[in-house]
Amino acid sequence: MSEAKLLTLSEAIDRFVPDGSSIAMGLAQETLIPFAAGHELIRQNKKDLTLIGPISDILFDQIIGGTGVAKIQAAWVGNVITGSCYNFRRTVETGELEMEDHSNLTLAMALRAGAMGVSFMPTKTALGSDLFRTNRSLKLMTCPFSGDTLTAVAAINPDVAIVHLQRADKFGNAHAWGNLGITRDACMASKHIIITAEEIVEPEVILRDPNRVITPGFRVSAVVHAPWGGHPSPVPGYYNRDHQGFIDYRDRSKTLDDFGKWKKRWVDDVHSWQDYLNLVGQKRMADLSIKNHDLSEPVDYGY
Amino acid sequence: MSYTLPELMVTAAAREIVDGEVVFVGMRLPLLGFLLAKSTHAPKALGIYELGIIRESLAPEAI
C-alpha cells in the first residue's frame, strides 16, 4: 500500500531540501512556476544551492537575492516581459554566482540523460555555438555509427525536482496539464520530487485519467497543498498570468534595499498561503481567475 | 520616414520569413517580427514557440 506523503510546505522543504541541494524548478517556462516553494527556500535560509531550469522567470532572481545560491544551470535568467534581473546581474558581476550557460535544448538533453540513467545525451544542438567556450558540460564527440560530429551533453541528476501543478492525491499521483516543458524528464532525473498542488483530490480522480499523470507516484517524496502556489505565473485551468506582478518586481528589485523591502513583505511576513492570498487581495484574484472555461472531450478508458 | 532601432530589427526579421515556412519564434522582439510577417506577406507561416506551443493563427489578444 502506498504511504501518504501530504506535508506542509515548510515540512517538505525542511525535510527534502538540505543546504547544498541542486533543485530543478520552473520546467515549463512561463507556466506552473513553483513560486510558493521557491519562497519557502528563502524563508528557510537555504545555503549553497544549485538551481536548474531553462527559464524560471523572476523566481530564480528572487531566490538568488533572498538566500544562498552558488550556481545556476539555465538557458536564460531574467524577467520575461521586462528584461534582465537585478539580483542575478549583481551576483554574476561580482563572480559570486557561477552560471552554467545552456540553451533550452541542451538543458533538456542533460535532464533527459539524467532521466535515462546514462552519463550524456548526443545531440546536434549547440554545434558551432559559443556555448562550448564557457559550458564544460558540453563536449564535441564523434558518432560511433555515422562518424558525424555531435554535441555530448553531460547528464544532470538534480537532488530534488519541485513541481507546481493542478491536482494531486496524497500518495504522490498527480495530474498536470498545459505546456509541461521538460517536467517529466526532470522528475525522472531527480532523486526526490516535491509536488505542490492547487488541489488535493481523491486517488480515484487521478486513476480515472492515467495519461495525465505527470510522474510515477511512488517516486514522489512529498505532496503539498498550495493554492495559488504558482502565482504570479499562470496555472492552466485556475488563474492567468499576473503581468503587473512581474512589472512590479522589476521596480522592487532594482537595488538591494528595494529587494530587502520586497522580501520582507512577500516572504518574511508570509507564514501561510492564506497570508499570501491576503497580500494578493480578493480583487486581483478575481481578475486573474479563469472565466472562459475550456473543457476537453472526455476519453473512455473502459474495457 | 523615421523609425526606431527595435522597429528596424523587427522589420528585418519579418522580411526573413517566407510564406508557409515553419518558424522557431523567440520571445519579445522576435515574436513581433513573426507577427508582422504573419499579418502581412506570410499569412500561412507556422510558429513554434519555445514554451511548447505550435500556432497557425495569432493569439486573439496581445498582452
pLDDT in tens, A188-218: 999 999 999 999 999 999 999 999 999 999 9
C-alpha cell at B62: 496581445
pLDDT digits (tens, 9 = 90+) for A103-159: 999 999 999 999 999 999 999 999 999 999 999 999 999 999 999 999 999 999 999
Question: Which residue type sits at A187?
Answer: C
Q: Is A132 exposed, middle or buried (0-12, 13-18, 19+ CB in 10 A)?
A: middle
Q: How confident is the model at residue B1 (pLDDT cuts 50, 70, 90)?
A: confident
In what helix (H) or strand (E) does residue B25 lie, and over which residues does it extend? strand B22-25
In the predicted structure, residue A60 carries a pLDDT above the cut 60: yes
User: Which of B27, B28, B63 is the closest to A243 by Cβ?
Assistant: B63
Residue B27 — very low, low, confident or very high, per pLDDT cuts 50/70/90?
A: confident
Residues of chain B with pLDDT > 70: what percent?
Answer: 97
Q: What is the pLDDT of residues A144-174, one digit of tens each?
A: 999 999 999 999 999 999 999 999 999 999 9
User: Is some CB atom of chain B closer than 8 A to the CB atom of A240?
Assistant: no
A18-39 residue pLDDT tens? 999 999 999 999 999 999 999 9
Q: What residues of chain A lie within 8 A of the CB of B52, using their CB?
A: 28-29, 179-181
Query: Cβ of B52 and A180 within 8 Å?
Result: yes
The ipTM value here is: 0.84
> Cβ distance A55 to A188 under 8 Å?
no
Residue A1: is its pLDDT beyond 60?
no
Q: What is the full DSSP assignment across chain A?
A: -PPP-B--HHHHHHHH--TT-EEEE-TTTTSS--HHHHHHHHHTT--SEEEE-SB-THHHHHHHHHS-EEEEEESB-SBTTTB--HHHHHHHHHT-SEEEE--HHHHHHHHHHHHHT-SEEEESTTTTSTHHHH-TTEEEEE-TTT--EEEEEEP---SEEEEEEEEE-TTS-EE--S--TTHHHHHHHSSEEEEEEEEE--HHHHHT-GGGB-S-GGG--EEEE-TTTTTTS-BTTTB---HHHHHHHHHHTSSHHHHHHHHIIIIIT--SHHHHHHHH-HHHHHHHB--S--PPPP-----
Q: Is the pLDDT assigned to residue B2 strictly greater than 60?
A: yes
pLDDT, mean over chain A: 97
The per-residue pLDDT for B63 is 62
| pLDDT at residue A183 greater than cutoff 80 | yes
- For residue A181, the chain B residues in CB contact (below 8 A) are 51-52
Question: Hey, what amino acid is at A24?
Answer: A
Distance from CA of A103 to the nearest CA of B (A): 11
Please judge whether A31 and B50 are an interchain contact, meaning their C-beta atoms are less than 8 angstroms apart.
no
pLDDT tens by residue, A258-300: 999 999 999 999 999 999 999 999 999 999 999 999 999 999 9
Please indicate whether, in this complex, the C-beta atoms of B51 and A80 are within 8 angstroms of each other: no
Q: Which among A81, A181, A243 has CB closest to B51?
A: A181
Residues 6+ apart with CB under 8 A from A145: none
pLDDT at B55 over 90: no
Residue A140 · residue A149 · CB < 8 Å: yes
Residue A243, pLDDT > 90, answer yes
CA distances from A126 to A27, A62, A155, A294 (A): 20, 29, 16, 38
